[in-house]
Amino acid sequence: MKDENGAIHKDFFTTGRYGGTGWKNAIWNVSGGPETVVAQNNVVWPDGEWKPFSVSYDPSTGKVTYTQGTGASQTTLQYTYAQGKAFEYITLIAKGSSENGETVLKDIVVNGISLPEQTARSNYVGVRIYLTDAEQTSGITVTGEANLTKGSKPKDEVPGFHVYAMKTHEPETVIPEFSSIAIPVAAIIGLLLFFNHRKHKKRVTY
């Protein structure tokens, strides 16, 4: 998905896809250069099987963690991205076509916000959610379930789905407005004057 100026700003992204010869999960780094696979594994994905997935970014360590599946079949990939970053928006893409296969994403939640189901049977579909820096103080977490079904002619990346973290930046430091600072300071000064006055009265009382 492109922004209002037609540009695509991908910083890192994860994929769950048919990779030409089999199913693959991967984390890709994009910032500062071409798309590069930084972590990847082969997985077993029976046609039509629902699999839970999660993608998270921890700003304190810069670690990106991508998990898929449950129990003994769960797979985990990790990659260390830059620390202390925030992202303007998160985008999920589902890829499908009439010949290559279909992708369905459901129960999608990004930092506690639910997103609509995405079904790609004959096209690519996607959803984008904008996040404020304040909503990312603990990073980002994307969860959901994916269902991939091969068509008669599956090809590289179709069927498949991507989770993009886009437009990385240094998070803004929120400075309280003057009024929110002035009121408590005024209250403290008032208390100090009150106790000082009482102390002075006690000293001069006979």
Whether the CA torsion 154, 38, 87, 113 is positive or negative: it is positive
pTM of structure:
0.80
pLDDT at position 19: 85
**In the predicted model, is pLDDT for residue 201 greater than 90?**
no
What does the pLDDT read at residue 28?
96
Nearest to 26 by CA among 13, 7, 35: 13
Residue 184 has a pLDDT of 54
pLDDT tens digits, one per residue of 90-133: 999 999 999 999 999 999 999 999 999 999 999 999 999 999 99
**Mind listing the pLDDT tens digit for each residue in 53-95?**
999 999 999 999 999 999 988 999 999 999 999 999 999 999 9
**Is the Cβ–Cβ distance between 110 and 140 less than 8 Å?**
yes
